[in-house]
Homo-oligomer: A and B are copies of this chain.
Amino acid sequence: MALKSESGSNGESNGTVSIGLNAVIVAVTDEEPRLLTVRPSGRLRGQAGKGGRESGALPFGPLDPEKDRTLELGLTRWVREQTNLELGYVEQLYTFGDRDREPRSRSGGRRVLSVGYLALVREGQVAGREETSWRPWYEFFPWEDWRRGRPPLIDAAIEPALDRWVEGGKDPLRRQEHRERADITFGLRGAPWDGERVLERYELLYEAGLVFEARRDSELSSAGEPATGMGGRGEAGLVPGRSMVLDHRRIVATALGRLRGKIRYRPVVFELLPPTFTYLQLQRVVEALAGVRLHKQNFRRLVEKGGLVEGTGQLVSDTGGRPAELFRFRHEVLRERPTPGVGLPGVHS
């Protein structure tokens, strides 16, 4: 299920590489965005942190250059084979090609590039394999979930750790640059929080040695001895959050950032909802993705004026209060508006 295990030809240097396809498969259930993870297998197994922090892995499949006519067809093929999931919405994210992303490459094996994809599936459709599980994605990025207010770990763990990172800069100019970057990416010292900078935040934490993967990678490369002065000391000084194998958490960060941007100008939320839904369901899904609570009435008005949905006349009464009307996505909006998204209104309820 994970990385190819044939390791015959090691590094016959004729400019060739292998291609891996990684899928970030997202669904929203119980107001929680989740991604499909698999158990890391083979030599990647042992990479988990010590204190119960077990690594997850993204579903992965190699591209078969002979059979797969397009990358996307290759992806949907092995996802279907492995998980019985039929992917609907699929979008290419990014191609990750750093040499150091894969331990084998460092030890002279063939280099593996991986093309990351984002796929959205409907709530309810769940794969039936036991090695797989749907994990709430904020387990991997606790600092990204602002639905219950500013996450305490930002002030408690991230800001002080970044302060130390800033202070550790070589010269004043460096420190100044670090300060600015930390402030902008994490919204510190009066800078605004930008929900879409998910990748920038993860990469900053990685560079500052504050996520497990950074420590793992520096230990691997310098074989034993602590690297940047932060390695090798268990989990001390790490920011909370479940880690992943290889650079998979980076891929997920890319996916989250992209998705947060996209809901604002393309009607992708509806890929995650059943065909009919109530306004509150819709709002909860958007909130889950955006990671913030939205103003109810304004959200309603925005969606309404945007012409994104239309009522069905049907009511549901399991709301816990007054019955709600069921709505469906208004297909015609595509030919009326250039950018039909949910355009997030103000925060909080």
Name the B residues within 8 Å of A193 (CB-CB). 338
Within 8 A of B (CB), among A1-20: 4, 6, 8-9, 11, 13-19
Q: Tell yes or no: A65 within 8 A of B by CB.
A: yes
A194 at the interface (CB under 8 A from B): yes
Could you say which of B9, B70, B110 contacts A98, with CB atoms under 8 Å apart? B70
Other-chain residue from B6, B180, B196 in contact with A335 (beta carbon distance below 8 A): B180
Query: Chain A, interface size: which category?
Result: 35 or more
Interface of A is mostly: loop
Q: Given A4-B15, A16-B16, decide whether A97 and B338 contact each other with a Cβ distance below 8 A.
A: no
Contact indicator B63/A15 (Cβ below 8 Å): yes
Q: Tell me the minimal C-beta distance from A173 to chain B in angstroms.
A: 14
Q: How far is the CA of A19 from the CA of B335 in the complex (A)?
A: 38
Give A19's nearest chain B residue, CB to CB: B17
- Across the two chains, which residue of chain B brings its CB closest to A189? B335
Instruction: Known A9-B14, A110-B16; judge A335-B94 contact (CB<8 A).
Output: no
User: Which of these, B70, B97, B98, contacts A97 with CB under 8 Å?
Assistant: B70
Question: Which of chain B's residues has its CB closest to A192's CB?
Answer: B338
CB contacts (< 8 Å) of A218 on chain B: these are none
For A338, the chain B residues whose CB sits under 8 A away are 192-196
For the complex, what is the distance from the CA of A16 to the CA of B20, rounded to whole Å? 10
A18 to B88, CA, bound (A): 29
14 example contacts (A-B, Cβ-Cβ < 8 A) are as follows A8-B14, A15-B19, A16-B110, A63-B97, A69-B98, A70-B99, A92-B94, A92-B95, A95-B115, A180-B335, A184-B335, A191-B335, A192-B336, A195-B338
Instruction: Enumerate the 6 nearest inter-chain pairs by beta-carbon distance, A residue then B residue, closest first.
Output: A194-B338, A16-B16, A71-B97, A65-B111, A191-B335, A95-B95
Q: Which residues of A contact B (CB under 8 A)?
A: 4, 6, 8-9, 11, 13-19, 62-66, 68-71, 92, 94-95, 97-100, 110-111, 113, 115, 180, 183-184, 190-196, 334-339
